Amino acid sequence: MNTFDLLNTILGKTDSNYTKVGSIDSVSGMFAVAINVLIGVTFAISLVGIAYAFVQHIISMGDKDALKTAQKALTWSVIAMVLSLIAVALKRIIFNLIGVDTGLNK
């Protein structure tokens, strides 16, 4: 059993209600999974940052410095979210241009 078979065994578990999205059978497949995980983590962190900025804004109670801090946190969180969405588009464009079709880059 090689590394790709092991990864497919771990990541390819399916129920009768779900179908397998793709398989990891090459380095490009592993690369696609890694990129998808990084984009997902970035998006999740930006959502947490937005929630944190809103809580910070509510707790500030009109304090100018605290409002500025909350606004900066919100700005950077939105920038991170937009960049993660742009990364999804760029990944699809680049993978389509170089002909990588792993089933995971959709």
pLDDT tens figures, 81-104: 999 999 988 988 887 888 766 555
Q: What is the mean pLDDT of residues 13-26?
A: 54
Residue 3 has pLDDT above 70, yes or no: no
Please report the DSSP string for 9-76 in residue order: HHHT---TT--------SHHHHHHHHHHHHHHHHHHHHHHHHHHHHHHHHHHTT-HHHHHHHHHHHHH
Q: What is the mean pLDDT of residues 58-76?
A: 93
Asked if the structure places residue 91 within a domain, the reply is yes
Three-class SS state of 15:
coil
Asked if the structure places residue 69 within a domain, the reply is yes
What pLDDT does 11 receive? 63
Asked if the structure places residue 80 within a domain, the reply is yes
Asked if the structure places residue 23 within a domain, the reply is no
Asked if the structure places residue 59 within a domain, the reply is yes
Asked if the structure places residue 66 within a domain, the reply is yes
What pLDDT does 18 receive? 46
What pLDDT does 27 receive? 73
Asked if the structure places residue 89 within a domain, the reply is yes
Asked if the structure places residue 18 within a domain, the reply is no
Q: What does the pLDDT look like over 21-66, one tens digit per residue? A: 455 667 777 777 788 889 999 999 999 999 999 999 999 888 999 9
Cβ(80)–Cβ(46) below 8 Å: yes
* Residue length of the chain: 106
Structurally, the chain folds into a number of domains equal to 1
